[in-house]
Amino acid sequence: MSDETNDPIEGYVHALLKELGEDPGRDGLQKTPGRVARSYRFLTSGYQQNPREILNDAMFDVSYDEMVVVKDIDFYSLCEHHMIPFFGRAHVAYIPNGKVVGLSKIPRLVEMFARRLQVQERMTTEIAETIEEVLQPKGVGVVVEASHLCMMMRGVERQNAYAISSSLKGSFSEDPKTRSEFMDLIRHRRASFV
């Protein structure tokens, strides 16, 4: 490896490989520091995005006041404790209060928060709080289901365990019927339309 790298992370990965007892100069590892640096930059690209900007450019005035649900939003994130992946699905709903957001913006918001070092509980709350703050809906519900490789590969080593977290605000928190409707809607898996 040369003294000059494109990304400071490359130098740290080179040093880490040496600490692990590897030869960073061997054939299979020569380009690993650069690949890891690019990978971490991509996997943490959510730090470069503003959640308000994601939602604000696609808000529309409407008179619709029934629940809007975007479910089964796949995501991948890195656990902030071990920097090992966790992944799963997010389900997001809100009840408009005069404004809706373009449907594609909800998965973009989930992706933005997932592309940061995270804990599942905080990510769930951040998604709900952002929608609540920007749209000011009558209520917001977010449920996240995820498998954590830090639980599967190390520590307790439980391959079938997964975590579910929720953040319920406004009518989703206050009205049992609204909460129940949301939970029923996300419980059912859809058959493919294609």
Q: Which residue has the tokens 């998604």?
A: 127
And the tokens for 145? 């289901």
Among the listed residues 49, 82, 136, 145, the single catalytic one is 82
What pLDDT does residue 56 have? 84
Catalytic member of 79, 91, 111, 126: 79
Is position 82 annotated as part of the catalytic site?
yes
DSSP string for residues in 117-129 = EE-HHHHHHHHHH
Confidence at residue 14, expressed as pLDDT on a 0 to 100 scale = 96
Per-residue pLDDT of the chain (194 residues; tens, 9 = 90+): 444 558 999 999 999 999 999 999 999 999 999 999 999 999 999 999 999 999 988 899 999 999 999 999 999 999 999 999 999 999 999 999 999 999 999 999 999 999 999 999 999 999 999 999 999 999 999 999 999 998 888 888 777 788 999 999 999 999 999 999 999 999 977 666 55
Q: Which ranges in the chain are annotated with CATH 3.30.1130.10?
A: 51-187
Question: At 145, is the secondary structure helix, strand, or coil?
Answer: strand
pLDDT of residue 189: 75
Q: What is the pLDDT of residues 36-78, one digit of tens each?
A: 999 999 999 999 999 999 998 889 999 999 999 999 999 999 9
pLDDT reported for residue 1: 43
Helix (H) or strand (E) holding 176: helix 176-187
Which tokens sit at 79? Answer: 């656990």
| pTM given for the model | 0.91
Of these residues, 80, 121, 133, 174, which one is catalytic? 80
Would you state the structure tokens that stand for residue 65, as one six-digit string? Answer: 């006041």
pLDDT of residue 3: 47
pLDDT the model gives residue 5? 54
132 is catalytic: no
Active site (annotated) includes residue 148:
yes
The residue annotated as part of the active site, out of 81, 121, 133, 159, is 81
Active site residue 126: no
Q: Is 181 a catalytic residue?
A: no
CATH topology of domain 51-187: GTP Cyclohydrolase I, domain 2 (3.30.1130)
Q: Look up 81 and say whether it is catalytic.
A: yes
Look up residue 43 and give its two tokens: 């996997």
pLDDT of residue 34: 96
Helix (H, G, I), strand (E, B) or coil at 188: coil
Q: Is 14 a catalytic residue?
A: no
